[in-house]
């Protein structure tokens, strides 16, 4: 019996590896996990080469079919993953011993792509998600740790023991998270970044625009969960003016490369509304 088979059999009896143990928003981690497990074959031009995703799906006894229904969503996950990875790798070019923090990490494992032998990384999420990670992913090391996090808490920066203004810049990632926070919570998150983060720190996150708020039931995949979209930027000024020390460094439209139609529609939407329909945003602290 292979180690994967025996581990999968053991996991099926462990309640920590049952999706129904997850609340609405954490349950959406199934979508990016499936895309990273099976999407490379569908879209080799944006393949990410996740070394863990296929094995995790097997150990979760999940064939992923529900989450492969919409190819555009699969493409979007891979495209945004590559963008987050690029942001972190660019940061590590200037801070090779720096710290990357994944806020709401789900079952992603960015350190497989970022470990340069010196970098440090924190994967942070709710306790029930970390319990799954403990069973599915390699154990923590001195440079790659996990910590409990609730971004709705006012003291999240201190709880992660991140450096204050006079410290070394950090790189924060938050994938598939902010659209499920309330507007006041997003504002507080960016305010904390501006108040606490060292100059040169970067924060990358993805967001759907405000028109999707309350419309999760029409999303091809999120509709299969009970999660709801509760925030989206109404304009780029909302991010540019979030805090005096925070600058909007970039807004990368996620679906541009999927098809000519998506690219045209995305450009038209941004022209009319002033904001991308779906983008990875990069904020920089000055």
pLDDT score of 272: 95
pLDDT score of 188: 95
pLDDT score of 12: 53
Task: Look up residue 107 and give its DSSP letter.
Answer: T
Give mean pLDDT, residues 152-178: 97
pLDDT score of 124: 98
pLDDT score of 19: 78
Q: Which sign, positive or negative, has the C-alpha torsion 74, 76, 77, 78? A: positive
Residues 109-143: tens digit of each pLDDT: 999 999 999 999 999 999 999 999 999 999 999 99
pLDDT score of 21: 75
Contacts (Cβ under 8 Å, ≥6 apart) of 231: 178, 179, 180, 181, 182, 183, 185, 186, 207, 210, 213
State percent of the chain over pLDDT 70: 94
Between 7 and 111, name the one with better pLDDT.
111
pLDDT score of 239: 93
pLDDT score of 63: 94
Q: Residue 10: is its pLDDT beyond 60? A: no
pLDDT score of 2: 44
Q: Residue 7: is its pLDDT beyond 80? A: no
pLDDT score of 8: 45
Mean pLDDT of the chain, nearest integer: 93
pTM, two decimal places: 0.93
Contact by Cβ (8 Å): 110, 102: yes
Residues 231-280: tens digit of each pLDDT: 999 999 999 889 999 999 999 999 999 999 999 999 999 999 999 999 99
Q: Residue 104: is its pLDDT beyond 70? A: yes
pLDDT score of 269: 94
Q: What angle do CA 50, 228, 233 make, to 5 degrees?
A: 85
Q: Would you tell me how many other CB atoms lie within 10 Å of the CB of residue 271? A: 8
pLDDT score of 20: 72
State percent of the chain over pLDDT 90: 92
């Amino acid at each position: 019996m292979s180690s994967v088979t025996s581990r999968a059999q053991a996991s099926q009896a462990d309640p920590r590896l049952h999706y129904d143990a997850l609340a609405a928003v954490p349950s959406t981690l199934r979508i990016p996990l499936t895309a990273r497990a099976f999407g490379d074959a569908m879209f080799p031009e944006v393949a990410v080469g996740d070394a863990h995703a296929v094995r995790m799906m097997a150990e979760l006894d999940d064939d992923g079919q529900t989450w492969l229904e919409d190819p555009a969503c699969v493409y979007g996950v891979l495209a945004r993953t590559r963008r987050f990875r690029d942001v972190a790798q660019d940061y590590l070019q200037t801070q090779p011993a720096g710290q990357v923090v994944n806020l709401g990490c789900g079952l992603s494992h960015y350190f497989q792509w970022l470990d340069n032998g010196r970098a440090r990384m924190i994967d942070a999420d709710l306790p029930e998600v970390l319990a799954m990670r403990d069973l599915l992913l390699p154990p923590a090391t001195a440079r790659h740790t996990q910590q409990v996090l609730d971004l709705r808490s006012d003291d999240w920066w201190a709880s992660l023991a991140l450096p204050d203004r006079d410290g070394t810049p950090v790189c924060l990632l938050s994938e598939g998270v902010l659209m499920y926070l309330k507007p006041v919570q997003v504002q507080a998150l960016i305010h904390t970044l501006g108040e606490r983060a060292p100059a040169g720190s970067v924060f990358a996150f993805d967001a759907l625009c405000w028109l999707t708020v309350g419309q999760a039931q029409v999303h091809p995949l999120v509709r299969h969960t009970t999660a709801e979209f509760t925030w989206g930027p109404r304009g780029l000024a909302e991010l540019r003016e979030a805090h005096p020390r925070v600058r909007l460094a970039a807004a990368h439209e996620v679906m541009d490369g999927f098809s000519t139609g998506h690219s045209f529609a995305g450009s038209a939407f941004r022209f009319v509304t002033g904001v991308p329909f779906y983008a990875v945003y990069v904020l920089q602290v000055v």
